[in-house]
Chain A
Amino acid sequence: GNSVTQMEGPVTLSEEAFLTINCTYTATGYPSLFWYVQYPGEGLQLLLKATKADDKGSNKGFEATYRKETTSFHLEKGSVQVSDSAVYFCALIVSYNQGGKLIFGQGTELSVKP
Chain B
Amino acid sequence: NAGVTQTPKFQVLKTGQSMTLQCAQDMNHNSMYWYRQDPGMGLRLIYYSASEGTTDKGEVPNGYNVSRLNKREFSLRLESAAPSQTSVYFCASRGGRGAYGYTFGSGTRLTVV
Chain B associates with chain A: no
